[in-house]
Amino acid sequence: MSEDFELDTDDLKRRMDGSMANLRTEFASLRTGRASASMLEPVMVDAYGSMTPINQVGTVNVPESRMVTVNVWDKSLVGKVEKAIRESGLGINPQLNGTIIMLPIPELNEERRRELGKVAGHYAESARVAIRNVRRDGMDQIKKAKADGMSEDDQKFWETEVQELTDEMIKAVDAALENKQAEIMQV
């Protein structure tokens, strides 16, 4: 039976890639002094009795490098969208113009840049923890197979495979963090 053991490394890689995709989404929501429609992705609006992503109640545009606009489709939701943006923690003060909400992106000061760098670090650490949890699951599967009679050579082989995959993904997280922090600190 031990000869039949095959660790599903594709599943482990897919789960680790999911952690990376989540990290990229979180990084996209961090503002860097330049306007981006993706910075509003985490904002949820209380619309029609349920929490709805902002891009499902209006059109998000970036007309210029320091401005994001949200054209709300339903006039009755303009106030709720404005409130959701104010309470989102993005540090942006929305301005109303009919059904269009304008979000001027202020220049980031040095202190705010450092804070955003720390937030990016927390996001990266969460991704590293998620990747290590996937590694632990893989190692647990190997230990279970060892208890079922897997040879020590096979155990070492699979443990090395899982560790190499983990190291590769942690390097990718570190590189993404380095790039994001450089982007944040860029004036």
pLDDT at 2: 43
pLDDT at 87: 84
pLDDT in tens, the chain (187 residues): 345 678 888 899 999 999 999 898 888 777 666 777 778 887 889 888 888 888 889 999 988 878 889 999 988 988 999 988 888 777 788 888 888 999 888 777 888 788 888 888 989 999 999 999 999 999 999 999 888 888 889 999 999 999 999 999 999 999 999 999 888 887 6
Which of 66, 127, 126, 73 has the alpha carbon at shortest distance from 102?
Answer: 66
CB of 14 closer than 8 Å to CB of 104:
no
Q: Which domains does the chain have, with CATH numbers?
A: 9-27+109-185 (1.10.132.20), 42-104 (3.30.1360.40)
Count, in order, helices (H) and strands (E) of the chain: 4, 6
CA trace torsion 101, 104, 54, 19 (10° rounding): 180
Rounded Cα distance between 130 and 140, Å, is 15
Which of 181, 149, 127, 175 has the alpha carbon at shortest distance from 17?
Answer: 127
